Amino acid sequence: MNNIKTEFTIKDLENFSGIKAHTIRIWEKRYNLFQPKRTDSNIRYYDMDGLQKLLNVSLLYNNGLKISKIADLSEAKIALSVRELVFNKGAESQSTVSFKLAMLNFDEGLFNQTYNNLISQSTFRAIFTEIFIPLLKEIGILWQVQSITPAHEHFITNLIKQKILINVEKLQFLQPNKNGRKFVLYLPMNEIHELGLLYLHFELLFHGYHSVYLGQSVPVENLNDLQRIFSDVCFVTYLTVEPSNEPVEDYLKNVFSEVLQNTNDTLWVLGSKLAQFDSDSFINNQIKIFKSPVDVLNIL
């Protein structure tokens, strides 16, 4: 894990808030909204309070309040206006900001409080698709541009994973009401990014299917063990960073020859790794490529 980040560049602020660096500088000079600090070598930076204030300001600004009006407010009044906005428009308007602040401060209490406010007004499915998925995409970008460290990403993704598991457990008490096909969900060897696959496990259970979740780093040959117990199996995998030592097409051909050939079983494949793969030229009636989880949900 890297050291916890407490100093942020103006580009970091842009990445977190969506407000352009040029606009932030104008707000600083014209309205004195922010007071950047300087390192011993005279490099400008912003602390956590500055970032938090910008997130609150951006929330008010994006909801129609003029920046000149915001600049006239005290920091206490800005925070109050944010609370009023959340009260009037619902928890969704502030939730992404709150989740980001929870991540930055490693604040599990704030994460759970924000989630509990959401779940009191909405469903877990709506929260995941409308809030968590866009949030995770933002976090991925923030990590790539080094605005956050791996520690931040691991913290927030593990908390989201906990919520998925809680909702999965509730569904596991119910008997599947769709007979026939069994779903088996797994990740290739050395693949650890499982949130997308885990959420699909929840959706399959929610829709009444029999779903078996194997999780991370499953050798292809181990899939045969499931075939000895179940017939009409649909394997589902999510390729995010793996396979890294062979082309995606070679991996899929290996799954076909080792697992699918001479059976009626199928494989569904998702994940960002497919961007490196020409799926249009890959023809196999037992392997189906999906561009997004939404495409899977549409056929359940």
Q: Average pLDDT in the 134-158 region?
A: 86
Opening angle at CA 224, ends 218 and 226, nearest 5: 85
Between residues 149 and 119, which one has the greater pLDDT?
Answer: 119
Instruction: State phi, psi for 33 to the nearest 5 degrees.
Output: -75, -35
Please give the biggest Cα pair distance in the chain: 72
Q: How far apart are CA 218 and CA 238, in angstroms?
A: 12
Number of residues that this document lists for the chain: 300
- We find that the CATH architecture of domain 174-297 is 3-Layer(aba) Sandwich (3.40)
Whole-number pLDDT of residue 92: 61
H-helix or E-strand spanning residue 210 = strand 210-215
Opening angle at CA 123, ends 295 and 207, nearest 5: 45
Whether the pLDDT of residue 260 is over 90: the answer is yes
In the chain, ranges of CATH 3.40.50.280 domains: 174-297
Whole-number pLDDT of residue 88: 65
The reported pTM is: 0.80
Whole-number pLDDT of residue 270: 94
Q: How far apart are CA 230 and CA 250, in angstroms?
A: 26
Between residues 173 and 260, which one has the greater pLDDT?
Answer: 260
- We find that the CATH architecture of domain 10-168 is Orthogonal Bundle (1.10)
For residues 32 and 158, is the Cβ–Cβ distance under 8 A? no
Residue type, 136: L
State pLDDT tens for residues 66-118: 999 999 999 889 888 877 776 666 556 678 888 988 898 898 998 998 999 89
- DSSP per-residue letters across 175-225: PP---S-EEEEE--TT----HHHHHHHHHHHHTT-EEEEEES---GGGHHH
Whole-number pLDDT of residue 1: 39
Pick from 126-135, 139-148, 251-260: least confident: 139-148
For residues 247 and 273, is the Cβ–Cβ distance under 8 A? no
State pLDDT tens for residues 195-241: 999 999 999 999 999 999 999 999 999 999 999 999 999 999 999 98
Task: Round the average pLDDT of the chain to a whole number and report it.
Answer: 89
Whole-number pLDDT of residue 81: 86
For the purposes of burial, counting CB atoms within 10 Å of the CB of 110, is it exposed (0-12), middle (13-18) or buried (19 or more)?
middle
Whether the pLDDT of residue 144 is over 80: the answer is no
In the chain, ranges of CATH 1.10.1660 domains: 10-168
Whole-number pLDDT of residue 89: 63
In this structure, what token pair is assigned to residue 259?
């697992």
| pLDDT interval class at 40 (50, 70, 90) | confident
